[in-house]
Structure 1
Amino acid sequence: MKDGVVLGIDAGTSSVKTSLFTVQGTLIREMSFPVNVLSPAKDQFEMDVDLLFKELRRVIKEIVVGFENQVQGIGLSVSSPTLIFLDRNQEAIRPGIVYLDNRSIKEVEEGVERFGGTNMYFARVGNNPSPSTCVAATVNWIRSNEPETWNQTVQIGFLNTYLGVKLTGNVAVDPTVSSYSGLMRVRNPYSWESEFLEIFDIDEKYLPEILPSFGKVGVLKGDIASQIGLPAGIPVAIGAADTASTSFALGVHKHGDVFQSMGTSEVITFCLNTPNFSPAFMNRGHVIPGMWLSNGAMSTAGASIQWALKNIFPELSSEKELENLAQSSPRGAKGLVFLPYLCGERSPVFDTRASGMFFGLTINTCKADIMRAVYEGVAYGMQQIYKIGSERWNVSPEYIKCVGGASKSALAIQLRADVLNKQIRTIESSNTAAYGAAMLGAMAAGIYTKIEDVPCIEDYGRVVEPKSDNVSFFEKHSEIYRQLYPNLKELMRVQYGLLNGDILQSE
């Protein structure tokens, strides 16, 4: 019988959740605190990582009370990528730049030209070029626009790099995070690619060592240990990106495993045993060496529901009231179709100029139809992504696990089952990423030496079957959704240009 407890830290862009588990995986207690994402200028999004770490120290000290001498390991889960610049004292020089940031679009385009075009970039790197998958471009933006920052920079890192160095004094990153750097071939996420470093003019001396996600970045330093009420010397795992940490927690370990995360954004993740990547997905190395994760990520899935509540139905007090309203409209929303591209879109189009729309408004359209169309439009988007992945990789899982706040919506879950024609199993745990981080900490401590021995989360809340008549209905009606973007892409570009003062040429 293994004794002791492990600590999982899940640092996201909305909150940081810290959870204490037994080494068998039973939750003991958890605490969280909010994170404020700052927007100092248009298209710029940052977080104060020093404030984050200050609050994290306070929370850890509280959560370990009574277990101070039982903590065996610590693991990290982080939003990704969050770019950090460290000085010679291992302090963050400026706020971290989070994945929502688009300041480096021009630098991305310049890098793509040096690769020989978008298709060549994808073929060589393994991801579409964008600020959120090519932080090398953001490094170049900083070098050009903040020379005082660059002159102080000794190391470039990420959010788990920063937390790891603050806890242990050692600098590292893992392959699930480094995959979004633009400085490696994702098929080989454990080494920086010298050719790509040359293209972006970045010296490898600035970059952290790449460790396995369960690799020990170091042990808890004495000064930090005294501040958080723990003994020095506790092993710390470098950890993983939050989606990858959740994959690990849910047992998404073999080719063909699929899970879905439903929140402000929505992601469907396929586990692959070969790096046969699709350009409709964001691709990364897995926690498990020799495996990969392909993430089909919609930017404003749950955010579309929140947008409707705030801007269309402010008289309603909750998302539950919105759901009840939507359920009073018939399936198909009387022909109304919603395209949920409210902040451009990632998967499957990767177009920052894509925009949302309602198609099919008539004199008979009512409020309930509008809300029903929003729920169905988000579901159609996930169906489109799932079809691309399942056909490319010849994957047909028996069921799909769903996590996240939106998985509590009965309408949303039934729609996912119907449009995907798959059984959906919701996961009750609200801390899957923190759980995965804690178990990575357990591996770094040697409590578990084999990934297959690590306990997985399987506390299903609901098991929802697709309804056969709905499956055929939505298959026909979703075809309209799939035709909207390709037929309106050029008009969206023109509209974007008019709103932003750009002169755009049709491709």
Structure 2
Amino acid sequence: MMLRELAPEYVKRVDAIGVSGHMLGCLPMDKDGQTLRPAMIHADTRALAISNALRARFGRDYFYEICGNVLSPASTLCKTLWLKENEPELYARTYRILQSKDYLVYRLTGHMETTDMSDASHGLLMNLETRQYDTEMFHNVGVDLDKFPQIHTSCEIAGRLSEEAAGCLGLRAGIPVSVGGGDGACANVGAGVAKPGDFYLSLGTTAWIAGQMDAPFIDPQHRVFHIYALDGHGCNVFGTEQCAGRSVSWAMDLFEVASARAFDSAAATAPAGAGGLIYLPYLEGERSPVFDAQAQGVFFGMNTTHKREHFLRAVLEGTACGLSQILDVMREKQQIEELRIIGGGAKSKLWKQIIADVCNVTLHDVSTFSDSATSLGAAAAAGVAIGLFGNLPEACSHIRMSGDIEPDLAVQEAYALTKKRYAMLYPSLKEAFHTRA
């Protein structure tokens, strides 16, 4: 449906178009602007053998030290090599390899010559120091640099809305279209993170803590990853917990809890520390800080005194302990005393209080709805591109915070013991995780 039919009162007021899309893509285009095959999306890991071969050849540190990200079969770099090795004729015909939002820019403007720093950095293509493609790395792995569009900030104009696209959308031709950014980077801005020192927690099915630093945090243990900021003025550092809200929904099914409210009511009756019961939220492996796909979920320390409410509270505390480990890594580089919070999990006052207590951090609710943070960030970048805002921090000044949650000092001793025992479990169980039938 055309925009003029959905919201006719706003059509004439559109001054710019912001663009975003999922990251880690690989869409080959020919010189005539035709797609050569279906896109490989972020979840596509067919390049596993490529990734393993690169790791064996260059070692585990080579790519991380250049790009700030762990070598992964999901990366655009590995997917491009997969194309070259498995579909060589198609690869030879490829003029540009685009990300999803770059393709949207092409459909809107007719130009496919731009990408941004967020997608280039996350795709294992960009040197974090130079903020350009790493020509030596491209040469070493055998990828053709000339198949990729030029890197810009997201806050620049990529082109203007074409007559054809304007007709399809019901807008006027000539509207500026920004370069755009990857969904993760745009969500940061939508949560109000736009300058060094700003950090936030997205508490959903998967949870992550992300924030902006002046410079990349090249961690020798590879516990965090990087996505460059939309405006190019800083680097977003991420740590992701694979199963946060997923752990809660799993426990609701397992213990037959009717609603999220009932879950919180029951969990609140158990004491801080859940009577010594510890939960590892590794239901689907874990990402930060262990990056182990074979890690498994665990309830540890069960005894006959534990009831349903202890297990439910342990799930909330275990996910909070995982987030605390991510935060502790980031605190090695940056002082962090407060987090903005978005996501479906932010509706739970109990879970937020537990996170504040376990992580020893103040949480601020944000006016942004979790499902609109990415769109809001893309719009902010477009606003900067046309001069509506002087910069991203000015744009983010319109995002309101409310409902501060402070850590409760009375439970710090109990949670210090919980975190200590939690931290001991993964190293003790790692060998068992990797010895499965």
TM band (smaller chain):
over 0.9
Residue 168 (structure 1) shift: 1.0
Structure 2 residue runs without a partner (length 5+): none
- Specify the alignment match of 1:72 in structure 2: 15
Confirm or deny that 1:370 pairs with 2:311: yes
Question: In structure 2, what residue type is equivalent to 1:126?
Answer: G
Residue 175 (structure 1) shift: 0.5
Please give the per-residue CA displacement for 1:420-479, whole angstroms capped at 9, x wherever unaligned.
Answer: 212111113212221111121122223234344324343334211111012222122111
**Are the structure 2 counterparts of residues 222 and 384 from structure 1 closer, same or farther at C-alpha, using a change threshold of 3 Å?**
same
Structure 1 residue runs without a partner (length 5+): 1-57, 499-507
Identity %: 29
- Specify the alignment match of 1:478 in structure 2: 419
CA RMSD in angstroms comes to: 2.1
- Cα distance in 2 between the residues matched to 1:287 and 1:370: 41
Residue 356 (structure 1) shift: 1.7
Question: In structure 2, what residue type is equivalent to 1:371?
Answer: L
User: Pick from 228, 243, 247: which aligns with 1:285?
Assistant: 228
- Specify the alignment match of 1:466 in structure 2: 407
User: Pick from 35, 38, 63: which aligns with 1:121?
Assistant: 63
Do 2:23 and 2:41's aligned partners in 1 also have CA atoms closer than 8 Å?
yes
- Cα distance in 2 between the residues matched to 1:288 and 1:393: 22
User: Pick from 198, 202, 210: which aligns with 2:151?
Assistant: 210
- Specify the alignment match of 1:396 in structure 2: 336
> SS of the counterpart of 2:236?
strand
Do 2:27 and 2:97's aligned partners in 1 also have CA atoms closer than 8 Å?
yes
Do 2:195 and 2:393's aligned partners in 1 also have CA atoms closer than 8 Å?
no
- Cα distance in 1 between the residues matched to 2:407 and 2:140: 49
> SS of the counterpart of 1:112?
helix
> SS of the counterpart of 1:85?
strand
> SS of the counterpart of 1:343?
coil
Do 1:379 and 1:419's aligned partners in 2 also have CA atoms closer than 8 Å?
yes
**Are the structure 2 counterparts of residues 332 and 396 from structure 1 closer, same or farther at C-alpha, using a change threshold of 3 Å?**
same
Alignment of 1:38-77 (within 5 A): 58=1, 60-77=3-20
- Specify the alignment match of 2:359 in structure 1: 420
**Are the structure 2 counterparts of residues 306 and 214 from structure 1 closer, same or farther at C-alpha, using a change threshold of 3 Å?**
same
Question: In structure 2, what residue type is equivalent to 1:301?
Answer: A
TM-score under structure 1 length normalisation: 0.80
Please give the per-residue CA displacement for 1:256-301, whole angstroms capped at 9, x wherever unaligned.
Answer: 2211111111111131112232221111211232311100111221
Please give the per-residue CA displacement for 1:347-402, whole angstroms capped at 9, x wherever unaligned.
Answer: 11112222221112223332222221111111000001101111x214133x2111
Confirm or deny that 1:346 pairs with 2:287: yes
Do 1:281 and 1:296's aligned partners in 2 also have CA atoms closer than 8 Å?
yes
Alignment of 1:9-408 (within 5 A): 58=1, 60-115=3-58, 117-132=59-74, 134-146=75-87, 150=91, 153-171=94-112, 172-189=114-131, 191-278=132-219, 279-310=222-253, 312-313=254-255, 315-390=256-331, 392-397=332-337, 399-408=338-347
Residue 77 (structure 1) shift: 2.7
> SS of the counterpart of 2:291?
coil
Aligned length: 432
TM-score under structure 2 length normalisation: 0.92
Do 1:407 and 1:426's aligned partners in 2 also have CA atoms closer than 8 Å?
yes
Residue 166 (structure 1) shift: 1.1
**Are the structure 2 counterparts of residues 60 and 345 from structure 1 closer, same or farther at C-alpha, using a change threshold of 3 Å?**
farther
Residue 146 (structure 1) shift: 4.6
